[in-house]
Amino acid sequence: MFPHYLDAMLDQKPHPAPPRIGIISLGCPKALVDSERIITKLRAEGYDLASSYDGADVVIVNTCGFLDSAKAESLDVIGEAMQENGRVIVTGCMGGDENAIRAIHPNVLSVSGPHQYEAVVNAVHEASPPPHDPFIDLVPEAGLHLTPRHYAYLKISEGCHNRCSFCIIPQLRGDLVSRAANDVMYEAERLARAGVKELLVISQDTSAYGLDLKYAESTWNGKPVAARMLDLCENLATLDMWIRLHYVYPYPHVDGVIPLMAEGKILPYLDIPFQHASPDILKAMKRPAHGEKTLDRINQWRSDCPDLTLRSTFIVGFPGETDDDVELLLDWLDAAQLDRVGCFKYEAVAGAPANELANPVDEDEKTDRWERVMELQREISERKLATKVGQTMDVIIDELDSEGALGRTRGDAPDVDGSVFLDGDFDVEPGDIVQVTITESDDFDLWAKRIS
Ligand code: SF4
């Protein structure tokens, strides 16, 4: 063995013992399988299993609620666990009736119903945080990411409850399934600890977050957090990172997050996939919130938060789209003066209901419409960026190349929006947030000099 290796080995602190979890599984084989899943997950995270009350840091009781006698037995076992250990998490069939359990055992740490593995595992994390040993773990605490170290995507739900006619996501991924708010918050916290400076909140429809959970509360660091977009934004804002919202639909409750943006708590940035402006096309697309008066809303948002950056995507050449629809879209874009716009030519996706619609648009016509939208938006973007010359703003550094550093303003998401070039500046690192003065602009990008 190399001497330095030996020194390094001797220098290492002894690993703390992992937390030990006791589990009592009552009821039928289905409940037993639920218990097995829970302990498999906890064991994979590094927890040890305890075979007695006094050796356990926390005890899970997986209850049965099938018959009155089974309920009575469940309550007795919870009572015994409280008496012998005192840190008890209740789950399973009887957990569906939290009031009945808390009426007799008010101090149990958490109550969840059957199959709510994630809630049980979260409750264990809360009661006894998962072990993490950077010397032996193959996976860092914040998980593995394909993004640079300073930003990360935070997915808050799976699936979608909308039924846009051009889309097959709900067929592929099912209806909306939101993550519990505390699960999202614990992940965000781990990412912050791992050095992430910017979180990009994503889902298929971010404004619908929590709808399927009826906005249920869960416990994060001892405080209740609701699965609702506004609450989530408020809680994420406490983590001292840039928080950027993607895929937000213009429902009225979105107005509630604008003050958080105006106060600087989350980034003044909304990515809203409007997809079109013609009411007829939006209706044929079956877009969520297609009846909203979006121009009025945009004007109000901008008056409440003048720094707001709006990004959107549009589809041209949807079946049945007429010249009038395209004129309407162009007029709308001219009035809305969105900061960033992506535009796609409609493509039929196998299985999408829109394929059945009459009057498909010819490919050349689609290209012509796409070019008109892109040219208008290029002009808008060029004009808007020119007004930023001379302004001072924060920039997050993404990378350095042979010409210097490049980064993004608060109004630019990675990969899809523009860049800020700090030519000749090599004295920064990815993830640094620096102050710059904007010196130049073109159609989509900015150039700047650092002032701090
Ligand atoms: S396009 Fe519509 S249906 Fe498809 S994921 Fe987005 S909101 Fe859901």
Which of 171, 204, 286 should be mutated for ligand 1, with most atoms under 8 A from CB?
204
Residue nearest to atom 7 of ligand 1 (CA): 162
Ligand 1 contacts CB of residue 352 (under 6 A): no
CA 386 to ligand 1 center in whole angstroms: 34
Residue nearest to atom 4 of ligand 1 (CA): 167
Ligand 1 contacts CB of residue 204 (under 6 A): yes
Alpha carbon 222 to its chain's center: 22
Residue 192 has a pLDDT of 95
CA 203 to ligand 1 center in whole angstroms: 10
The encoded tokens of residue 248 equal 């937000």
Cα separation, 287 vs 251, whole angstroms: 12
- Give residue-wise pLDDT tens across range 410-423: 999 999 999 999 99
The encoded tokens of residue 10 equal 């001797």
Q: Which residues of the chain have pLDDT under 70?
A: 1-16, 133-141, 144, 289-292
CA 122 to ligand 1 center in whole angstroms: 29
Residue 406 has a pLDDT of 97
- Angle ∠(356,359,364) on CA atoms, nearest 5: 115
Using DSSP's 3-state secondary structure scheme, residue 339 falls into coil
Q: What is the DSSP letter of 272?
A: -
Ligand 1 contacts CB of residue 248 (under 6 A): no
pTM: 0.77
Cα separation, 38 vs 121, whole angstroms: 7
Write the DSSP string, 42-57: HHHTTPEE-SSGGG-S
**Nearest 10 degrees: CA dihedral of 438, 440, 445, 451?**
-30
Cα separation, 123 vs 61, whole angstroms: 12
Residue nearest to atom 6 of ligand 1 (CA): 204
Residue among 236, 171, 241 nearest 206 (CA): 236
Residue 134 has a pLDDT of 61
Query: Structural domains in the chain?
Result: 20-127 (3.40.50.12160), 151-386 (3.80.30.20), 392-450 (2.40.50.140)
